[in-house]
A and B are shown apart, each in its own frame.
With several copies, the nearest count.
Chain A
Amino acid sequence: MAILVDKNSKVLVQGITGGAGTFHTERMIAYGTNIVGGVTPGKGGQTVAERPVFDTVEECIEQTGADVSVIFLPAHFVKEAAIEAIRAGIRFLVVIPEHIPIHDMLYVREEAVKHGTTVIGGNTAGIITPGEANLGIMPDIAFKPGRVGTVSRSGSITYYVADTLTRTDYGQSTCVGLGGDPVLGSTFAEILLKFEEDDKTKAVVMCGEIGGVYEEKATEAISRMKTPVLAMVGGVFAPPGKRMGHAGAIVEGKMGTAKEKLEMLADAGAHACKTFKDIPETLGRLGV
């Protein structure tokens, strides 16, 4: 078991014929990811990395049975590509590009909720279930199969956490990159609850950072979880970020400093960690 992707996932790549699309498709295949095809409108009939390319997601699904998609496309194509994937029946969608217009992501999220599709990103390094599937741009070297899940807003933090878990032999069940953009396809809370339901995941490390609202919104989920949650929040020594006018303060409440976020998470029952090496120490103490 794992969450969201495993070796049985049939993965398609949207934007497979582009430079990054082709490069990472080959990497993902080399890892053993079950890439079944790709989509680039107008390039149907071509082949990339021995995988067939289609004009539409619908056709790709018809022909290959794909159920998961990874998007490698310029940011301004993401909205339509994501909506296409969601409507065509993709159940899990990974949005790699960064700088996606915020309004576009609101449309994508609305469509995703309507169809019950899980979306991660934009600006995510992707997701990996070690030994089974690696979707996105994450470096294989950091990961090995194991029993701790991770979810992080930052790609590099994901790598460091995984690296630490690999070195200490905990390994990872699944590592999820939530994404670095201001509006994300999924929230911490949603991913945490998926880990909660996964038998293989004995603990979850969540890594947030200063700014945004998704850490605060995770507290309710954490307080309900039986699976232990370890929490890191970057930016404790960073100067406070900027506010989005009065309206931002009214809608999102107090500016979440890293310290406050960490306190809120700890109050909800998460185990706060300062540096990566606190993670195996905490896991050991918890008997994971």
Chain B
Amino acid sequence: MRLYEFEGKQLFKKAGIPVAEGQLAASAEEAYDVVARLEQPVALKAQVLTGGRGKAGGIRLVDGANEARTEATELFGLTIKGFPVRKLLIEPKFSVKQEYYLGVTIDRANYKLVVIGSGEGGVDIEETAEKSPEKIVRKTFSIGEPMYTFDALAIARKIGIPQDLGKKAAAIIVSLFKLFKQYDAKLVEINPLVLTDEHELMAADSRVSLDDDAVFRHPELADLGIEKRHEEGEMTPREQQATEWGIPYLDLDGTIGMFPGGAGFGIMGNDFIHYYGGKPANFMDSGGGPKPERIAKMLVLLDENPNVKAIFGARFGGISRCDDFAKGVIMFLKDHGLSKPMVMRMTGNMWQEGVKIFEEAKEAEPELFKHIEFHGIETPIEEISKRAVELAREGGN
């Protein structure tokens, strides 16, 4: 769960990390009011859940309230990497003598926390890391290990923080590390940490990503107004519909409706369609052990998509059960009806029960099943993939 800059800075402030005193504006008029009150040059910063904001023109420096209104109006018209600008963070302008980088993240390959620092902060930090790795300082920690001031002092020294600011920088680094652990973060970054002309250190930006799976144990975040949010850019109406239904779904530009079981084969099944010359119309994941209602909704999304010419169905019951799967498909057929050709394969846990449910339903109402070609474990999934591509070609004619 990625936080907005202003949310990250709220956490920074609570942790004692110095940030500028910022204010939010949700409209150009609000921006005007804030700047009129402040009576000093400010930065208007678009709040979006993506990087590259600066390069996309998402930050404007303005000297007065009228200018602020004009620039804010422009900013609110921007969409940065698919994210429309809905809020601005307005901060007093400050001078920059030097920019540092500080970050904490997880080294998954080595199961450690890593603190990273550099004397060359800013947007080109990754380039620095690649071209001049010696300019990047790293220190790894076990998850249970505290960071001490001396660890942080060493980092501050190595990235070239002026000696007389060493203890202040160390306090920032220790706080950042504690914050990382306290909120179950996946990433916290201060980029840049700025040294101002007044010889003060300040976090000029924040990037905080928390572990969605651990948010449940941080009710204090909700108290700060920080809640789970959709982190993608703008969604298509179908993606919005899927999100409301709790189904991970992504529109693609092909013609085959993908109705696979499990995230793993959800990804690889798409490759298979490509290998056989087709193009998927979507990504979709049923989640673990889907109930019949959810299965039915997944099919609705595909059947109602005009781009879909044929549906590829695959279910290998594991944590999910074939009986529930069969019930879901039948629920869809009865309540909604299938208008596209569909080829599917079903096997795995409870397959006998699933097949029985299918057969009984088909015997009762055979016309519901007329577009479905049904297979079991005897048919390799490659054949199903091929057949889906054929059906889509036929349907496309």
Q: Which residue of A lies closest to B376 (CB)?
A: A141
User: Which one of A4-12, A103-111, A194-202, A222-230 is at the interface?
Assistant: A103-111
CA distance A137 to B380 in the complex (A): 22
**Is A213's CB within 8 Å of the partner chain B?**
yes
Q: What is the CB-to-nearest-CB distance from A102 to chain B, in angstroms, rounded to a whole number?
A: 5
**Is B134's CB within 8 Å of the partner chain A?**
no
A100 neighbours in B (Cβ, 8 Å): 213
Once the chains bind, are B349 and A180 in contact (CB under 8 Å)?
A: no
User: Which one of B70-78, B108-116, B297-305, B367-375 is at the interface?
Assistant: B108-116
Enumerate A90-148 residues with CB–CB distance to B below 8 Å.
Answer: 96, 98-104, 106-107, 109-110, 113, 125, 137-142
Q: What is the CB-to-nearest-CB distance from B133 to chain A, in angstroms, rounded to a whole number?
A: 9
Q: Mark interface residues in A41-64 (1 if CB within 8 Å of B CB, else 0).
A: 110110000000001111100000
Once the chains bind, are A249 and B382 in contact (CB under 8 Å)?
A: no
Q: What is the CB-to-nearest-CB distance from A98 to chain B, in angstroms, rounded to a whole number?
A: 6
CA distance A212 to B266 in the complex (A): 17
**Is B268's CB within 8 Å of the partner chain A?**
yes
Once the chains bind, are A244 and B271 in contact (CB under 8 Å)?
A: no
B209 neighbours in A (Cβ, 8 Å): 244-245
**Is A157's CB within 8 Å of the partner chain B?**
yes
**Is B381's CB within 8 Å of the partner chain A?**
yes
Given A41, A182, A213, which contacts B149 in the complex, CB threshold below 8 Å?
Answer: A41
CA distance A102 to B186 in the complex (A): 8
**Is A163's CB within 8 Å of the partner chain B?**
yes
Once the chains bind, are B111 and A106 in contact (CB under 8 Å)?
A: yes
**Is A25's CB within 8 Å of the partner chain B?**
no
Known contacts A139-B349, A160-B265, A180-B264; is-contact A217 B109 (Cβ 8 Å): yes
**Is A252's CB within 8 Å of the partner chain B?**
yes
Q: What is the CB-to-nearest-CB distance from A195 to chain B, in angstroms, rounded to a whole number?
A: 20
Known contacts A156-B262, A276-B381; is-contact A187 B109 (Cβ 8 Å): yes
CA distance A164 to B345 in the complex (A): 14
Contact surface of B with A, Cβ cutoff 8 Å: 51, 101, 103-109, 111-114, 116, 125-126, 129, 136, 138, 142-144, 148-150, 153-154, 157, 163, 166-167, 170, 181, 184, 186-187, 189, 191, 207, 209, 211-214, 216-217, 260-268, 270-272, 274-275, 280, 283, 288, 316-319, 347-349, 351, 377, 380-382, 385
